[in-house]
Structure 1
């Protein structure tokens, strides 16, 4: 089925389908099958503006302070509002955006892992690997081996 999807649709559709329907009995968790997408199901325009900025600038290693620089809110109030609206902190949100970008790059297999790390907005290889494993459940190398063509 996946071969047919890849042939008639594209590789990313086949990978997405594999993630949706896959069950790996040998693993304790299924987190590497998950696709995270940011939640915008809230009515806080300030948080929506911040989310958009983070999604547009995650590769630039943007910080929370840079995101809220010209927004009319204090850092503490912003973090509280952001967590209330999205369920996670701004830093966690930024990390998840970056990890999702890294996953997509790893699926493509064009870049080496260091290149993926840099394009996803990370400078520290150890921190990137640890965070990737924490969120995804696999190392970047294991993820690439599982999903790259």
Structure 2
């Protein structure tokens, strides 16, 4: 199976080299298992520039071939990319066109992180489910509203394309592809050898809530700032509407139009972000954090926290504090 990994000047080099290493090295594990041997992944790096050597993040990545010389692939995996995505897509329109041709030939297209932007640019993700990096999900939705984005997931396989989550989740994507094409036994074996958690399905516990302030509603901006500055207090929507000199229904409508969240959702997400920061401090108890974020009921706090992170406060604390 011929696997192509395109190399940009703007790609995350760890994503490129890491995927190549994982897919190639797993052949050694596979050959040690007692079953009929199959022809393994043949991985090639393809330069999207005029030279085979691409300078990336301070060092050179030497590719096998140029895009112009690559007319066939069984599987293409677009790596993580750093930069202004609309500009990068425009600059590499020839690559997008190449992806379209490959797709029509039956090539399986995959991506990790915001490489999904390139897959979506083909138009072949329209109406289908996909994921991307949690921190780029807002931009993705704006650029590709016809794609059914499930940004909390680490991997989405819609039958036509496979998309993966943020940056280093390329490891999970590789394990998934190994298992998809060569079976569960080698997938599990490779996960153990590379120390990759196979059962990890969600990006929610890694995501950081970004306050949606790219709008022009000054009154709502003032309310957002107030919520963020008073996250430790008990905040009531009706009182916020009154302070903004609006009827509550009008306030809720304008708030959601501006931020894509209702005021209640926004308050909860800001409080959860505060709770996450406090939980990352090993010396703060969960009971204290419950009160410090304005919640009186620990059970309710636990449920709200799990809704937005996928973890209980106790599990989050375990994951994000070192325990030697």
* Alignment partner, residue 104 of structure 2: none
Would you say the 8 A contact 2:231–2:274 is kept in 1?
A: no
Query: Which residue is equivalent to 1:30?
Result: 203
Aligned partner of 2:280 in structure 1 is 107
Deviation of 1:71 after TM superposition, in Å, equals 2.0
Please give the TM-score of this superposition, normalised by the length of structure 1.
Answer: 0.82
2:219 is the counterpart of 1:46: yes
Does the alignment pair 1:84 with 2:257? yes
| Rounded Cα–Cα distance in structure 2 between residues aligned with 1:34 and 1:136 | 8
For the residue of structure 2 that corresponds to 1:31, the secondary structure is: coil
CA distance in 2, matches of 1:101, 1:70: 23
Q: Hey, what does 1:65 align to over in structure 2?
A: 238
Structure holding more helix per residue: 1
Shift in Å, 1:21: 4.4
Q: Structure 1: which 5+ residue stretches go unaligned?
A: 1-19
Report which structure shows greater RCO (CA 8 Å, sep ≥6): 1
Superposition RMSD on alpha carbons, in Å?
A: 1.4
Cα distance change on mapping 1:103 and 1:72 into 2, 3 Å: same
TM norm structure 2: 0.39
More strand by share: 2
How many aligned residue pairs are there? 130
Cα distance in 2 between the residues matched to 1:71 and 1:130:
29
Partner of 2:294: 121
Q: Select the structure of larger CA radius of gyration.
A: 2
Contact 2:242-2:248 at 8 Å conserved across structures? no
Change in CA separation of 1:122 and 1:46 when aligned onto 2, cut-off 3 Å: same
Gaps of 5+ in 2: 1-165, 170-196
